[in-house]
A and B are shown apart, each in its own frame.
Chain A
């Protein structure tokens, strides 16, 4: 797979959508859908990506696409896949079709968590992709279970007493892996090769697959739209967002994370990450500087434990 080949693949999400300039979500979606040349049906949870790509009577979708609500995209695709299995068994359809779901972190970590867990447990054949922009962006940057400690959002704002969110985010990728599903991964849009390859695996592996993708949001993170790809790379270089995969019970770091783990690349300080976005700017105040230290310690702790799981 090279850039030249990819430039000839069919466009499944086409122009005309209304996402912000610099939004990572459509970049991620296009990379994910390059992971297969087979026909796909896409299900989408409510969120920025859904409202911006399907403004009736227009659509940016060149493939069959369905949105039903916020908390239930995994159940939606379960139904589509169940129909597919039934109709195939009855010889009413013959074509091979793949199933992909997109949901934001709010849809995935919080309100739709049960629906996702249920669909994975039932073993439907689909790839779930989480756009993790670490807050409810569509409704105006509210805190989610993915919002990092120290980030300011409209429901956990920084003030004179608090530095922003007080809690660390839940580690959803590991929670999903605890379902012992066939394939799960973390990815980032700056490393398109890694993301497309993981998508290919997720789509081709029979049964449920999950990819959690860091998804910079210029509006919510308070950064310039031109920095989206640079920031997604920085998230990996600081080990705030390690690239890894879980395949048939084996854990493996990938991309830049592998090179950091092998000592071939520098692990950058978390301060570089915190300084790059307006949502963390209160952490530079001396009053809140212990929070920045705690974040570094937590990143180190999680990184070490990941390396152990990867036998490194």
Chain B
């Protein structure tokens, strides 16, 4: 373990990539991700990595280049945000279907329009049905740790699927925080060597990648992705256990905070989790039985783990930094499906917040707790909006 340093989230990801030294990185700049690829370009320019770095002419091409490189037999990483992720959308599905274990940092930023560079989770939510795993980090340390764990989870033979390592735009990407890095050897040993499966560059054993699949096969190929998503839950758990052994930092798919004896629980992802715990502590000091759940792995959704944390609670508030106009927001929907077979399920409300980078103030979360404790509030609420 090296000396703790002060560093922003984007730099932390670039440092993790440097330690892992992917064979190929292809990317296209977009705020608030750009620091990652700029920093990594420096590593390439100074010969600090073996990576072939490709400056794509668009995000669609960037991800396509990653797919080509991964199919060829390379370990690959990329990064994007917002419009860039939206521009990749077609290729997200192709990447997962072709079983390419590519790691992509997503610096969560809202989608146009109106154009806005600030944080929310709308961009990542557009990829939630694509067959990518999605890890959300709460702070700079988690952005770094999630990146290292992601390579191992994605490349596991039971998974072989791509992973988005999500971090809140500006709030984590640009904020200076304390980071404890692992030493290079620990990271290299943890991730292990890349093991290609039927690479294109094995010219003696020609493989056809990306064929046409008609109705007689398409469904089965899709189902294989589903089966690997199921397996990924266990692989991710095991990876987090192993990571604790080398780092001393123990993570879970979904993490409860003071939930054991709580009656009222708030659920969120990303940087909001820290604010949530702060508010929980304040209300606990007043004798309120409240707790919090942070969802780290959003895809595959750890439904059983979430259900366990919410079992026996009176009410739950699900905080969504994204919206789905016309219905409930993504995290809310997944929490609902997790508890749908529960005998006496809690009353669950959805709170949309923080869109387009709107600040979240602790007092607002206190109000949400007060609302659900009073059995008040709509099913779906739009926190702080001027109607």
A87 in contact with B23 given A71-B60, A75-B56, A79-B54 (CB within 8 Å): yes
Chain B residues near A72 (CB-CB < 8 A) = 60-61, 64, 91
Are B61 and A86 in touch, CB under 8 angstroms? no
Chain A residues near B54 (CB-CB < 8 A) = 78-79, 82, 122
Are A83 and B206 in touch, CB under 8 angstroms? no
B218 (CB) vs chain A CBs: closest residue: A56
The contact string, 1 if C-beta is below 8 Å from chain A, for chain B 185-211, is 000000000000000111100111111
Are B74 and A86 in touch, CB under 8 angstroms? yes
Are A66 and B201 in touch, CB under 8 angstroms? no
Are A79 and B207 in touch, CB under 8 angstroms? no
Interface: A51 (CB within 8 A): yes
Chain B residues near A93 (CB-CB < 8 A) = 73, 201
Are A83 and B23 in touch, CB under 8 angstroms? yes
Shortest distance from the beta carbon of A179 to any chain B beta carbon, whole Å:
12
A50–B211 alpha-carbon span in the complex (Å): 8
Interface: B70 (CB within 8 A): yes
Interface: A282 (CB within 8 A): no
Binds B, one of A21-29, A57-65, A158-166, A225-233: A57-65
Which of A74-90 touch B at CB < 8 Å? 74-87, 89-90
Are A77 and B68 in touch, CB under 8 angstroms? yes
Binds B, one of A111-119, A180-188, A198-206, A256-264: A111-119
A62 in contact with B61 given A82-B69, A84-B72, A86-B50 (CB within 8 Å): no
Shortest distance from the beta carbon of A204 to any chain B beta carbon, whole Å:
17
Chain A residues near B23 (CB-CB < 8 A) = 83, 86-87, 90
A56 in contact with B214 given A64-B207, A86-B51 (CB within 8 Å): yes
Interface: A20 (CB within 8 A): no
8 Å CB contact of B211 from A59, A64, A87, A117: A59
Interface: A43 (CB within 8 A): yes
Are A76 and B206 in touch, CB under 8 angstroms? no
Interface: A54 (CB within 8 A): yes
A71 (CB) vs chain B CBs: closest residue: B60
Which of B97-116 touch A at CB < 8 Å? 98
8 Å CB contact of A82 from B26, B60, B202: B26
The contact string, 1 if C-beta is below 8 Å from chain B, for chain A 188-201, is 00000000000000
A83–B203 alpha-carbon span in the complex (Å): 14
Are B57 and A83 in touch, CB under 8 angstroms? no
A76–B65 alpha-carbon span in the complex (Å): 5
Chain B residues near A65 (CB-CB < 8 A) = 206-209
A79 in contact with B206 given A54-B211, A69-B91, A118-B58 (CB within 8 Å): no
Are B71 and A80 in touch, CB under 8 angstroms? yes
Are B217 and A79 in touch, CB under 8 angstroms? no
A204–B369 alpha-carbon span in the complex (Å): 69
Main secondary structure of the interface of B (DSSP, over half): mixed
Are A54 and B51 in touch, CB under 8 angstroms? no
Shortest distance from the beta carbon of B58 to any chain A beta carbon, whole Å:
7
Are B210 and A54 in touch, CB under 8 angstroms? yes
A68–B95 alpha-carbon span in the complex (Å): 8
Interface: B94 (CB within 8 A): yes
Are A69 and B201 in touch, CB under 8 angstroms? no
Interface: A172 (CB within 8 A): no
Chain A residues near B58 (CB-CB < 8 A) = 114-115, 118
Are B65 and A75 in touch, CB under 8 angstroms? yes
8 Å CB contact of A55 from B70, B91, B209, B211: B211
Chain A residues near B202 (CB-CB < 8 A) = 64
B21 (CB) vs chain A CBs: closest residue: A90
Shortest distance from the beta carbon of A143 to any chain B beta carbon, whole Å:
23
Are B211 and A67 in touch, CB under 8 angstroms? yes
Interface: B67 (CB within 8 A): yes
Shortest distance from the beta carbon of B47 to any chain A beta carbon, whole Å:
11
Shortest distance from the beta carbon of B27 to any chain A beta carbon, whole Å:
12
Q: List 25 A-B contacts (CB under 8 A).
A: A54-B208, A54-B210, A56-B213, A66-B209, A67-B211, A75-B60, A75-B62, A75-B65, A78-B54, A78-B56, A78-B68, A79-B26, A80-B69, A80-B72, A82-B52, A82-B68, A82-B69, A83-B73, A86-B23, A86-B52, A86-B74, A87-B72, A114-B57, A114-B61, A119-B61
User: 16 extra interchain contacts, Cβ-Cβ under 8 A, other than A67-B210, A76-B67, A117-B57?
Assistant: A41-B200, A55-B212, A56-B212, A56-B221, A68-B67, A72-B61, A72-B64, A78-B54, A79-B65, A79-B69, A80-B68, A85-B52, A86-B23, A86-B52, A90-B50, A115-B60
* Residues in chain B within 8 A of chain A (CB atoms): 23-24, 26, 50-52, 54-58, 60-62, 64-74, 76, 90-91, 94, 98, 200-203, 206-214, 217, 221
A-B interface, 7 closest residue pairs, ranked by CB to CB distance from nearest: A79-B68, A118-B57, A83-B72, A54-B211, A83-B74, A75-B61, A79-B65
* Residues in chain A within 8 A of chain B (CB atoms): 39-41, 43, 50-51, 54-57, 59, 61-69, 71-72, 74-87, 89-90, 93, 95, 97, 114-115, 117-119, 121-122
